[in-house]
Structure 1
């Protein structure tokens, strides 16, 4: 191992950070996982009001511990073979920083103020602000700024969260800048000491902040002033340029190199969103739909820019998805992203709902028992059907005000049957996304799945295969995001010329495939029609 170039990939998830060590053939030589302590005990969250904030100390402390634990078993020779580090985070997860690039929550004055922290991707408190941005964009004389993010702006994204805080807290509105988590952690690693020097992620900016190169960057200041004059100063303190994840953002800050026992020559790759790096680690190429299946889902595809070019030379817009951005997933290709705001969260909610008295089991045990019982049940065309909008609808056609609904319940529906109904509803949401991509002309030749549920739940994956009517290949790499980050790091360090080369050398193929059952597909076509009918009724 020590004779190979080594790379660290780091995945900042919703509840923990995971670091893994890979060689240039993609073999994993250890991993370490550390949970965010404050977020873990519910600090700075208010689910009833859709508020989920994370303290920057959770990121720093957990990252430091993960790297130290990862490297503890390895010799000095191995440590000196580490050439680069790549990182990815959830998104959009922005936060305010001071002139030196320090998050405001690290100042005593703001230490307990959630608005001075990072707003986690699942924070939906800014639904009203998102609706204002959408309405203004659709009527903007120079063109609709939301046309490349599905035609509507989401409360999960950068500008809506920023606008809500700016209106609520004038003292925070004066922040020197706002930074996505993936950009801030790269700045932390490279020793950025000026808020203007943060490298800005192409995928975060393009998919979450309406950044477009042909617009000269972010939407212009007059647009934001038309929404709220308080945004004037904020706009001038943001950014114009962005970079891709395979570009070097700098080198590891000397103080951190000493702390971790690494060389100060270690290259730090540009930041990225975790789902996008999962797609890279899973081997995304044109024709593949990669589904990150976890607490929520992210569905990604890439297209050659010329494929999306119309006869008039303009880029075709794929309607109703979360965004399309040049070089956001794979440099040189247009990245397309959609997803569901809740997936595994739905099953977790149901386990907590029926086990609220404890029942002598923890939630994992409850879900395991439910899954085993539900797996033995066949689909029932005249049984209950549910909508998967438990956390709003992300795709197709974002609307986070939408709520879940159930039809067809009776006294004969027991817990395993209803659990299977929820699994089916989540798969139906996935089918709606796939059908939107194909209806819009995006070629989908194979479906690849990664993430916790893809690796742990045969029931969910088989139902999804039956509902989609397609085989689903589960990526071999259990930590696809960390592997994708390591691939980006390998390119940033010069080991490979591009991400395609890194994927070819470091990719691991598939671990397992799920084939659709003929009888299952026939039943699910009927149930999916009922799902679509219920969705239309609820949508009015």
Structure 2
């Protein structure tokens, strides 16, 4: 029997799996860590402790618990949160804590400056996305200006996955999907680093070598073998960002496949048939050469259900609250007896990109119940999802099916409302291991143990949610869109 190993580094936890060539999981392990917030709006990890030490411990745990000989592990893959910004010296040592992805907003001034200097239309056309707190380029410029002593000693700027791959193999590489978040230093058409948009951020030779996620970045060094317990010479893939690995784990392979992640927020990856750059959505080359991905995200989803539980369902225990609320909400009909909710409790990401958007519940009368309110909340998130899928359709990228992942897949009401409101069927796969399972599959692909289509056997479909057209929802969606437009100016003035 042969095996592959996949490890994913998340914001608060690192998870790993050891999987055989048929997709059976032989061992799992996890280790928690903290996100540091040294100042309001900042978010950091300690790369040595939170990334590398976690990776080493997970490797040893998987080997010990499975009893598998390291020599039987044919490939290793890693994914991680991203894009992150980590400067390292010539020996690969971190020069500071890693600056995390979009949750870190320290470079807001640089985002505004670079957007003004280059022009947003040009940035979107060349880089695929407008500059935001998710963009690495402005954070490098922040480093240059605010930490010049570190900038001057920087040999390379790495992402989280790049750092692990470098520690394992000595190679400094990055996948194209992650690199697309290094705007304005990455050109999505040329699929290369560029400095013609702005030439004062960083010399391009200090950026990692570009590769595709399923390529072999290098092999386990003797030093890495001694530290992790992995066998010297084991192939290591280039890897990617965690959400992309999770999309792979459930079979997001065909054009029109859309991973819908029901987490604290909604995150979406659509396997697109062509490159589309539009200010309302995000774009990146997909994990494999010649393929494309469009992305989107709502600013809230699971955070709203938790807010409702904590503020309006205090009579329910934490363990029983969500099943009870979902059961209660089935007593409310589609449309929640005329209640309509805007889910913008933390502003909104795609397609509105409105940080001033506010949450609202509209249509109350004295007959409404908690059941109606909770159903309206679930439906409001689903209407936000339809706003995204309608935007994709306007761009000739209409999703054909949803591949649902995340904690929200346990909520049957939420799944059904989302399919009914969007008009798109959903599937839920057997294994909910997530990104680390996608990493293990990517590793198996890289060394020829499996083909991409084999994910259907590795992780078969166990549930299908069929969309049920409903005129009530179609009317409500039009009202949902109008309600935002007619209240956004008021929302912007509220503090």
Q: What is the TM-score normalised by the length of structure 1?
A: 0.81
* Alpha-carbon contact 2:59-2:228 (below 8 Å) kept: yes
Residue in structure 2 matching 1:123, options 104, 116, 132: 104
CA distance change for structure 1 residues 416 and 168 in 2, over 3 Å: closer, same or farther? farther
- Quote the residue 1:457 is aligned against: 411
Within-5 A mapping of 1:79-90: 79-90=70-81
- Matches of 1:145 and 1:350 in 2, distance apart? 39
Q: Does 1:186 align with 2:138?
A: no
Deviation sequence 1:76-134 (CA, Å, 0-9, x none)? 54x321111111112222223233222223xxxxxxxxxx3332443344444334333
Residue in structure 2 matching 1:324, options 284, 289, 308: 284
Q: Offset at 1:435?
A: 0.8
Partner of 1:200, secondary structure, is: strand
* Alpha-carbon contact 2:77-2:237 (below 8 Å) kept: yes
Residue in structure 1 matching 2:172, options 198, 215, 218: 198
- Matches of 2:323 and 2:127 in 1, distance apart? 37
Q: Does 1:12 align with 2:9?
A: yes
CA distance change for structure 1 residues 130 and 372 in 2, over 3 Å: closer, same or farther? farther
Deviation sequence 1:153-186 (CA, Å, 0-9, x none)? 2212212333344444334443513221121122
- Quote the residue 1:340 is aligned against: 298
* Alpha-carbon contact 1:92-1:157 (below 8 Å) kept: yes
Residue in structure 2 matching 1:536, options 462, 471, 485: 485
* Total equivalences in the alignment: 485
- Quote the residue 2:265 is aligned against: 296
Deviation sequence 1:346-374 (CA, Å, 0-9, x none)? 2233334457xx87844x54444433433
* Alpha-carbon contact 1:207-1:323 (below 8 Å) kept: no
- Matches of 1:422 and 1:160 in 2, distance apart? 36
Residue in structure 2 matching 1:62, options 47, 54, 58: 54
- Quote the residue 2:492 is aligned against: none
Within-5 A mapping of 1:258-407: 258-284=226-252, 285-304=254-273, 308=274, 317-325=277-285, 328-354=286-312, 361-362=317-318, 364-380=319-335, 383-407=338-362
CA distance change for structure 1 residues 418 and 101 in 2, over 3 Å: closer, same or farther? farther
- Matches of 2:27 and 2:51 in 1, distance apart? 20
Q: Offset at 1:509?
A: 2.7
CA distance change for structure 1 residues 221 and 492 in 2, over 3 Å: closer, same or farther? same
* Alpha-carbon contact 1:469-1:516 (below 8 Å) kept: yes
* Alpha-carbon contact 2:219-2:233 (below 8 Å) kept: yes
Q: Offset at 1:53?
A: 2.2
- Quote the residue 1:421 is aligned against: 376
Partner of 2:390, secondary structure, is: helix
Q: Offset at 1:202?
A: 1.0
* Alpha-carbon contact 2:126-2:188 (below 8 Å) kept: no
- Matches of 2:85 and 2:369 in 1, distance apart? 42
- Matches of 1:472 and 1:13 in 2, distance apart? 25
Residue in structure 1 matching 2:37, options 32, 41, 44: 44
CA distance change for structure 1 residues 384 and 167 in 2, over 3 Å: closer, same or farther? farther
Partner of 1:531, secondary structure, is: helix
- Matches of 2:238 and 2:123 in 1, distance apart? 26
Q: Offset at 1:447?
A: 1.9
- Matches of 1:66 and 1:250 in 2, distance apart? 20
Q: Offset at 1:484?
A: 1.9
- Matches of 1:361 and 1:169 in 2, distance apart? 48
Q: Does 1:53 align with 2:44?
A: yes
Residue in structure 2 matching 1:99, options 75, 90, 104: 90
Q: Offset at 1:395?
A: 1.4
- Quote the residue 2:461 is aligned against: 510
Partner of 2:26, secondary structure, is: strand
Residue in structure 2 matching 1:71, options 42, 57, 63: 63
Instruction: Give the gaps of 5 or more residues in structure 2.
Output: 490-495
Partner of 1:174, secondary structure, is: helix
Q: What is the TM-score normalised by the length of structure 2?
A: 0.87
Q: Does 1:481 align with 2:432?
A: no
- Quote the residue 2:452 is aligned against: 500
* Alpha-carbon contact 2:82-2:160 (below 8 Å) kept: yes
- Quote the residue 2:401 is aligned against: 446
Partner of 1:421, secondary structure, is: helix
- Matches of 1:170 and 1:131 in 2, distance apart? 21
- Matches of 1:121 and 1:398 in 2, distance apart? 13
Deviation sequence 1:375-416 (CA, Å, 0-9, x none)? 443233664423333333321253445443443356665554
- Matches of 1:415 and 1:99 in 2, distance apart? 59
Q: Does 1:257 align with 2:236?
A: no
RMSD: 2.9
- Matches of 1:522 and 1:35 in 2, distance apart? 46
Partner of 1:72, secondary structure, is: helix
Partner of 2:206, secondary structure, is: coil
Q: Does 1:524 align with 2:473?
A: yes
Q: Offset at 1:317?
A: 3.5
- Quote the residue 2:134 is aligned against: 156
- Quote the residue 1:110 is aligned against: none
- Matches of 1:253 and 1:400 in 2, distance apart? 46
